[in-house]
Chain A
Amino acid sequence: MNPPQNILVVPSVYLSNLLHMKTKFILTCILLLLPGIFLSGQEKEQEKNQDKKLKFIYLESGIDLISCEQPEKEYIRADVDPYYYDFVSDHIRSLLYNEYFGVKFEYRLMKNLLGVSGGLRYNRMVSSIGKTAYWSESPDFFYVNFWNDETNTEYAKVLEINQKSDYIGIPLELRIYPYKDYPVNVYFKAGGSFNLLAGSKTNLVFKDETMNQYERNVVSVIEEPSSYFASFSLGVGLKIGKLAKPGFILEASIPVGIVTPEKATFVTPQGGAGFQFMVRIPLNKIIEK
């Protein structure tokens, strides 16, 4: 009696099927493990980087836009609208912005979770007083009282007063990097700066150009800029570029506060917002090379 043929056939088919499944399974496992192995390798590299005490140089440039108190001054004769947010009116207003550029050095601490930076910054602070006269037929100038004696009181019609002041400052910033290093990353910062006056210039735009010859006389009644100012800010940053390679950074700061020592300054800052663009250059690689 011959044994049934299918007894021998079935194990061979079964075996081949089993082998095929095994290959599939191994391949699937490899495919599943590969990214893990790759990521773990990257993480190891990141961790290696995280463990390093990294150092960076930043080239920075930015602007702070600051709102100011209503300019109530003895030498200015114009409406100072009590309804500050009423744009459909005519009154004088003060504006302030601070442009800057500089260089910073950052040192990373606590496995790159914290970055402490300091540097040198050049600031150009521009403050101005002008008149808003939207939807209004009222004149676009205001009066500046620049001379008084026993017999005469003299005013000049002025469209705008601008004061440009240059400050040299030292920024000090603390950055918190809560996330691991990815090519695009978000972080938080708290910063401040201390700035000393280097020079300033005040100029006026007269309604009548023939008054330009008296500009010095009129400027003499306008307050000098502060001899120094300090600024404070909180912000969030977006980093583009790998940790060990040069990258770009965009930062937005809200709020930005400015503190001036003298009470009688040309404009009185309140608070505002700032934007900063930076180029980051890692120093460690250069050192390692």
Chain B
Amino acid sequence: MKKLIIYFPIFMALAIAACSDETELKKSVFIPDKVYSDLPAYTEWGYNTFGAYYDMVPFISNESGVPAKIINTGGKTSFMLKGHMNQGYYYYYDYGNETTLIFDFYSFDPQIYTDLISLNDITFDLTSATCGVRVLRDTAGYDLDILSGEIVFKRAKNLLVDKQMVEIILSGTFEFQALAGDEPISVTLGRFDVGIGKDNFYRY
């Protein structure tokens, strides 16, 4: 029992230290756009934010939660942006408005997260057969039939902390028109600045 009393605080301290590793860098930094103040400004610092107008309604990242993931499975690589619709940045608790936008790339096959550096200055035509876009909303998911649009990875950069590789910063823009069922929708002024590291890169 005595040993437990001695070791418990040490274990807790180590656990806390392990959890807190680079957590500050994972936090979102929302700097409003000077013109479209509902959206985050376009940045290339790995601020872990994204935003777009989804049929004129703001769709932006949450302050909490992982805003972006990259999943390589089943012969495709998905770039997933998870946020909420029609709310201010700090009103993230209403999960009823949770929305996920997923870009699928069939011609891109990263093995580990550091391979994402090859996305630097790459544009994907979303109408191409090697691309697809899906939306998950209110637990229902549906594919969009893209009419026009593209996603541009303007910058892919290594983020190093104390000379150690931590993540890849992906910054860029997207815009498209699509059919959601029979209804045409527009996603405009899309921008993202997210970090992808070991924690949010998946390959299986």
Contacts and interface: CB of A to CB of B under 8 A. Distances in A.
Interface of A: 77-79, 137-139, 142-143, 145, 150-157, 206-208, 210-211, 214
Contacts of B7: none
A206 to B, nearest CB: 8
Given A153-B159, A155-B160, A79 B117 contact: no
Contacts of B151: none
B20 A157 contact: no
A18 B25 CA distance: 102
B24 A151 contact: no
B16 interface: yes
B169 interface: yes
Contacts of A139: 20, 23-24
A155 B161 contact: yes
A208 to B, nearest CB: 5
A63 B157 CA distance: 46
7 contacts: A77-B25, A77-B29, A78-B24, A143-B25, A208-B162, A210-B162, A211-B163
Interface string B157-174: 111111100000100000
Interface of B: 16, 20, 23-25, 27, 29, 45-46, 117, 120, 157-163, 169
B25 A151 contact: no
A155 B159 contact: yes
B24 A142 contact: yes
Given A138-B20, A143-B161, 8 more contacts: A79-B27, A137-B20, A139-B24, A143-B24, A151-B158, A152-B160, A156-B161, A211-B163
B199 to A, nearest CB: 17
Main secondary structure of the interface of B (DSSP, over half): mixed
B43 to A, nearest CB: 10
Contacts of A152: 157-160
Contact of A79 (B24, B120, B157, B162): B24
A78 B20 CA distance: 13
Contact of B162 (A78, A138, A145, A156): A156
Nearest to A78: B24
B80 to A, nearest CB: 23
A72 to B, nearest CB: 11
Contact of B161 (A78, A79, A157, A210): A157
A42 to B, nearest CB: 69
A70 to B, nearest CB: 15
Given A77-B25, A139-B24, A142-B24, A153 B46 contact: yes
Contacts of A210: 162
A208 B29 CA distance: 25
A188 to B, nearest CB: 48
B204 to A, nearest CB: 28
A157 B158 contact: no
Nearest to A147: B160
A155 B159 CA distance: 8
B22 to A, nearest CB: 9
Contacts of A157: 161-162
Contacts of B169: 153
Contacts of A208: 162
A153 B45 contact: yes
B180 to A, nearest CB: 36
Nearest to B120: A151
Contact of A137 (B16, B120, B157, B161): B16
Contact of A151 (B45, B46, B157): B157
Contacts of B159: 152-155
A209 to B, nearest CB: 10
Contacts of B157: 150-153
Nearest to A145: B45
The 4 closest A-B pairs by CB, nearest first: A137-B16, A154-B160, A155-B161, A208-B162
Contacts of A137: 16, 20
Nearest to B12: A137
B162 A207 contact: yes
Contacts of A206: 162
A155 B169 CA distance: 13
Contacts of A142: 24
A152 B161 CA distance: 11
Contacts of A211: 162-163
